[in-house]
Chain A
Amino acid sequence: MSTDRIIQFELARLNVHLPERQITLKEALSSPAPHVVARDGSKHKFERGELEFLKEIVPPSDWDSLRLPILIVINPKLGRGAAEIAGRPEVEVVSSVLKKEARGDEMVIYRPEVAVLRAKLPTTTQYLFMVG
């Protein structure tokens, strides 16, 4: 039975880094120390350089609707190595970083693309694991 408990524990731990609440790009840009608070109470800081980069590629009308960190949703149902991005402004950011055509509120990206995205935006993106 204890193996079940280890699995439960590991699954519960997968998402402790996620913020209690996301903040908008606008909020982040106007904060002297832009950060979110994770579920376990720890701080997660956004790097100024990334915010400046986002400011360049996101139209000002979307600064209020782009929510940070952008979530890279890992869902095993999509198959190994696939991830989802949800939300129109978020999809636009990701498609611009990856130079990959995308429309609408959702897009699916694959492992090499996740790597590019993570390299470009290490603090302003985060993984979310769909435990279901």
Chain B
Amino acid sequence: MAKAVGITPTRMELLRLRQRVALAQKGHDLLREKMDALVIEFFGIVRRIRDARVKAMRRLEAAYHALSLCFALQGTIETHQAAREARKELVVDISTRHVMGILVPVFDVRPIERHALARGYSLYATSSALDEASREFEKVLGGLLKLAELEEGARVIALELEKTKRRVNALKYVILPGLKAMVKFISMRLDEMERENFSRLKRIKAMLEARE
């Protein structure tokens, strides 16, 4: 039974409560749809992450391998030196995409392979091993950026999913039952009052008739 604290059992109040029930029900239904849609989005992105990871990790291994060779053939000091000299110009274009009111990042991933001459390290020290290592790392970056975009997207969607789930559960298990209990309480109380009223009227009528 509902606690009758703070509610006045009037017709007006009952009407207002019924409107609140309708709003909460609509909120629940729509947020549950949003939750379902977020689950679709989340698993879609997880599947893409799985594919992107396999590819990127393979590339990364190749890059590390080329780098190890470079250290061995070119010498550690020389490789570090070339890395210091290399032209640092790499940028990535990032925009955003909306997924149901959530902003997820979109990386514009273009191939970033550079010409050996464009890399900027002094050519007297270069070797094919150095070029190879540089090229491999340029190649791996595209895949890693794509992966970063997807993983960040998954994180953001998961957060929203958790939040939406909490809201849906609160509506379903707390707010709606509470409101419905109040509606029930007021309508019962109003019925009761009506019956009291009715019997009072009957008594008055009886008294009036007795007087005649």
A and B touch in the complex (CB under 8 A): yes
Q: Which residues of A contact B (CB under 8 A)?
A: 3-4, 6-8, 10-11, 13-17, 38, 42-45, 74, 76, 80-81, 111, 114-115, 118-119, 122-123, 126-127, 129, 131-132
CA distance A123 to B101 in the complex (A): 14
Total contacts A-B at CB 8 Å: 79
In the complex, are the beta carbons of A122 and B100 less than 8 A apart? no
The yes or no answer to B135 lying at the interface (CB within 8 A) is: no
CA distance A15 to B101 in the complex (A): 7
Q: Which residues of B contact A (CB under 8 A)?
A: 20, 23-24, 26-27, 29-34, 36-37, 40-41, 43-44, 47, 95-103, 106, 167, 171, 175
In the complex, are the beta carbons of B34 and A129 less than 8 A apart? yes
CA distance A7 to B40 in the complex (A): 23
In the complex, are the beta carbons of B36 and A81 less than 8 A apart? yes
For the complex with contacts A81-B33, A115-B43, 20 further pairs of A-B residues with Cβ separation under 8 Å are A4-B24, A6-B167, A7-B171, A10-B27, A11-B27, A16-B98, A17-B99, A17-B101, A17-B102, A42-B98, A74-B30, A80-B33, A80-B36, A115-B40, A118-B44, A119-B47, A122-B44, A127-B100, A129-B34, A131-B30
Given A115-B43, A118-B44, do A43 and B23 touch, yes or no (CB 8 Å)? no
In the complex, are the beta carbons of A10 and B167 less than 8 A apart? yes
In the complex, are the beta carbons of B30 and A114 less than 8 A apart? no
CA distance A107 to B44 in the complex (A): 23
Residue of A nearest to B25 (CB): A76
In the complex, are the beta carbons of B30 and A129 less than 8 A apart? yes
CB distance from A107 to the nearest CB of B (A): 18
CB distance from A25 to the nearest CB of B (A): 19
In the complex, are the beta carbons of B37 and A114 less than 8 A apart? yes
Given A80-B36, A119-B44, do A4 and B97 touch, yes or no (CB 8 Å)? no
